[in-house]
């Protein structure tokens, strides 16, 4: 069938009459002309439902009076999945991300610092944590996680740095994405090990 010749996309009723192979052919035909990279939200939702999306997340840690503080960003009230929730910074890996000669994930990490972490500088290596499968409202993801030391010149950045006690305080109870707590615990454990070895 030539689905691209239609001026109107098929209705849900039309799609329901097709067998799975015909539905797959139709989807492939409709997607064929798309460029790799960032996609419209509705398409991203379907891709995340049908496949496993690759994401990168960073735990930014600054040391204040020898104690670690962790940066969290607050999702907007219009976020389609987690409105007004505090979260660690992260991005979906895109085919359009820059590549280095070792095919690392430094391209998405650089994009993360340029977007979510403007005004915050990475001052140390990235330390990789165990990757994590996530199955949540947004769909299916595998997240490559890092932590790194950061610093700021002035208090001109979005989000907020939290002391560890504040993260576990009632203020954030129910407001922090639950996977974030797992990642923060892993990052702090590695941070403390490396501090004792320094």
Same domain, 161 and 115: yes
> Does 36 share its domain with 80?
no
pLDDT surpassing 50 at residue 6: no
- Residue tagged 């595998």 (tokens): 142
**What's the CATH code of the domain at 95?**
3.90.79.10
| 32 lies in the same domain as 72 | no
Position with higher pLDDT, 68 vs 82: 68
35 and 76 assigned to the same domain: no
Q: Domain check: are 63 and 38 in the same one? A: no
Higher pLDDT, 175 or 54: 54
Residues 137 and 184 in one domain: yes
- Which pLDDT score is estimated for 40? 77
The C-alpha atoms of residue 161 and residue 165 are separated, in whole angstroms, by 12
CA distance 115 to 187: 22
For residue range 131-186, what is the model confidence (pLDDT) as tens digits?
999 888 788 899 999 999 999 877 667 889 999 888 877 667 678 877 888 899 99
Are 162 and 91 part of one and the same domain?
A: yes
Residue 113 reports pLDDT greater than 70: yes
Same domain, 39 and 67: no
Residues 23 and 75 in one domain: no
Domain that holds residue 40: 3-48
* Pairwise pLDDT comparison (17 vs 108), residue with the higher score: 108
Question: Do 16 and 85 have their domain in common?
Answer: no
pLDDT band at 89 (very low <50, low <70, confident <90, very high): very high
- 89 shares a domain with 185: yes
Nearest to residue 109, comparing CAs of 93, 133, 129? 93
Which pLDDT belongs to residue 50? 84
Q: Are 140 and 51 in contact, with CB atoms under 8 Å apart?
A: yes
CB atoms within 10 A of CB 97: 17
Residue 103: both structure tokens together: 């095919």
Of residues 96 and 146, more confidence is placed in: 146
Domains contained in the chain, number:
2
Same domain, 82 and 154: yes
């Amino acid at each position: 069938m030539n689905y691209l010749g239609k001026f109107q996309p098929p209705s849900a009723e039309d799609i329901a009459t097709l067998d799975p192979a015909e539905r797959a052919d139709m989807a492939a035909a409709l997607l064929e002309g798309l460029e790799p990279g960032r996609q419209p939200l509705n398409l991203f939702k379907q891709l995340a439902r049908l496949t496993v999306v690759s994401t990168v997340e960073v735990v930014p840690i600054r040391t204040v009076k020898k104690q670690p503080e962790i940066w969290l960003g607050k999702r907007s009230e219009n976020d389609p999945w987690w409105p007004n929730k505090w979260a660690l910074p992260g991005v979906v890996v895109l085919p359009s991300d820059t590549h280095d000669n070792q095919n690392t994930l430094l391209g998405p990490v650089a994009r993360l610092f340029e977007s979510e972490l403007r005004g915050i500088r990475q001052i140390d290596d990235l330390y990789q944590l165990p990757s994590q499968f996530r199955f949540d409202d947004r769909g299916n993801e595998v997240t490559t996680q890092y932590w790194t030391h950061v610093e700021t010149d002035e208090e001109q950045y979005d989000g907020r740095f939290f002391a560890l006690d504040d993260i576990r305080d009632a203020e954030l109870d129910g407001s922090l994405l639950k996977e974030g707590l797992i990642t923060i615990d892993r990052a702090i454990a590695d941070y403390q090990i490396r501090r004792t070895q320094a």
